[in-house]
Amino acid sequence: MYHIKDDKRSHISLELIRDGFYSLLEEKDFEALTVSGIAERAGVGRATFYRLFDDKTDILRYDSDQVMDGALRWATDYFSRRESLALYEAIFAGSEFWLREENRVLFFRLEKCGCLDLLAEKIEDRLRRRILPLQELFGFDDREWECFIPIQVAISVTALRTAIRGYPEAPADAVARVVKVVAAIYGDRARRDMALAIQTHSDNLPVSAKVWPEV
């Protein structure tokens, strides 16, 4: 895990270590990187590294968490500016955030290091906390629900990989056309069912989820 305190000294050390880590990652494979090498490139001592991180993977874990938290803030703001929002539109609208250059770079870094599971873990955590009403809607028992979650996580990570690799400049017109096609495929029934599930459980959902379409 990482242990980043909210003080100037910690944040200066954090940026030095991150810069040193990513600088070395341009030259070597992830497996070849050592704490000593990262600390030396960053210009800090090993003690400083271990004050902030348990191991080198935690640097990627920290950045993954920061991006996912940013995604949630972006989504909350996006939803709050719309009186209604169908599920398919929400899914595709997220591409605007993930296709930002800094987020694409992190995704490729995670992929290079074989650490996309860090992003998957964060997505799973958010899914478990935000879409529990779907278990009742679909009539899943606990065993089926535990199967549904990892499948949905895999779909999310695959969708991100496809979008990031296929749409480097996030063309708005292309995304808009895809949204219309998906809407035609799923139709109004899926939209109404999702809206009903959210409204039924609205007292347990964040404000950002309560602005989805009326049934």
- The string of pLDDT tens digits covering residues 144-193 is 888 888 888 888 788 778 777 766 555 556 655 655 555 555 555 555 55
> Is the pLDDT score of 106 beyond 50?
yes
So where are the chain's domains?
8-55, 59-209
Instruction: Tell me the pLDDT tens digit for each residue of 8-46.
Output: 999 999 999 999 999 999 999 999 999 999 999 999 999
**Half-sphere CA count of 71, side-chain side, radius 13 A:** 24
b (16+ CB within 10 A) / e for 66-103: ebbeebbebbeebbeeeeebbbbbbebbbbebbbeeeb
> What are 2's strand-pairing partners?
53
- What is the residue-averaged pLDDT of the chain? 76
At 197 the three-state DSSP class reads helix
Return the CATH number of the domain spanning residue range 8-55: 1.10.10.60
Position 151 scores a pLDDT of 85
> Is the pLDDT score of 90 beyond 50?
yes
Confidence grade of residue 56 (pLDDT, cut at 50, 70, 90): very high
Residue 14 Cα to chain centre, angstroms: 21
